[in-house]
């Protein structure tokens, strides 16, 4: 139970941090999706069940606090967590490129599915322009953040597990 409360607290903190960045820097065009990064990293490390739970909770939090249409982020984040979990256990933990690559691809899938589910963008949006100007740069930004977060996690976890560096 403590584990779930701690991880939900982390999700709430990440949502507040994401919303704070948007409030303090309104001129920014790209704001990283910290919840997506967290969920995909958990999916790659711990597997589908764990990531899908936190993907659903994180998506629900985003639905409540960001959008007016409840139920848009919840299925998208849950599905992306499941897809990212397919990488779980298939690589060595020392491989620092798999989590950023997973987040890069997950961001692209997440944004495309989100755009397709959002009814006012379905036929009115120019998807090529959105991919080129928003989705790919956001995916690159999320992947860069993931690289540094996973690097810190990897070395911190290694130190904790072995008792030494």
pLDDT at 38: 94
3-state secondary structure of 32: coil
User: C-alpha angle 133/106/138, rounded to 5°?
Assistant: 25
Q: Which residue has the higher pLDDT, 162 or 111?
A: 111
Of 137, 156, 131, 152, which is closest to residue 33 (Cα–Cα)?
137
Whether pLDDT at 164 is above 50:
no
For the chain, the domain total comes to: 1
pLDDT at 10: 93
pLDDT at 161: 43
pLDDT in tens, 147-158: 999 988 887 876
The single residue listed with the structure tokens 């897809």 is 83
Instruction: Indicate the helix (H) or strand (E) that contains 79.
Output: helix 73-85
* Domain range enclosing 137: 2-162
CB atoms within 10 A of CB 71: 12
Whether pLDDT at 160 is above 60:
no
Global pTM exceeds 0.85 = yes
Helices 98-117 and 73-85: crossing angle in degrees, nearest 10, is 150
Average of per-residue pLDDT values in the chain: 85
pLDDT at 121: 62
C-alpha 135/C-alpha 111 separation (Å) is 7
Cα atoms in the Cβ-side hemisphere of radius 13 Å centred on 163? 0
Of 7, 30, 8, which is closest to residue 144 (Cα–Cα)?
30
pLDDT in tens, 62-108: 988 887 667 788 999 999 999 988 877 777 767 888 889 999 999 99
C-alpha 146/C-alpha 69 separation (Å) is 28
pLDDT at 165: 44
pLDDT band at residue 46 using 50, 70 and 90 as cut-offs: confident
Q: Which two tokens stand for residue 106?
A: 């997950």
Mean per-residue pLDDT, 137-164: 80
What CATH number does the domain containing 105 carry?
A: 1.10.1760
pLDDT at 159: 52
C-alpha 147/C-alpha 95 separation (Å) is 11
Whether pLDDT at 162 is above 70:
no
Whether pLDDT at 25 is above 90:
no
């Amino acid at each position: 139970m403590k584990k779930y409360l701690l991880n939900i607290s982390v999700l709430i903190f990440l949502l507040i941090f994401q919303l704070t960045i948007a409030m303090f820097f309104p001129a920014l065009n790209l704001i990283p999706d910290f919840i997506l990064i967290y969920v995909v990293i958990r999916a790659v490390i711990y597997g589908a069940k764990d990531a899908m739970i936190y993907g659903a909770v994180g998506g629900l939090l985003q639905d409540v606090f960001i959008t007016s249409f409840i139920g848009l982020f919840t299925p998208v984040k849950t599905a992306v967590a499941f897809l990212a979990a397919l990488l779980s256990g298939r690589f060595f933990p020392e491989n620092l490129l798999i989590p950023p690559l997973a987040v890069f691809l997950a961001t692209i899938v997440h944004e495309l599915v989100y755009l397709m589910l959002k009814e006012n963008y379905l036929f009115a949006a120019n998807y090529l322009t959105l991919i080129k100007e928003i989705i790919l740069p956001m995916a690159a930004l999320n992947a860069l953040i993931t690289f540094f977060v996973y690097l810190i996690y990897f070395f911190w976890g290694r130190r904790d597990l072995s008792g030494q560096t």
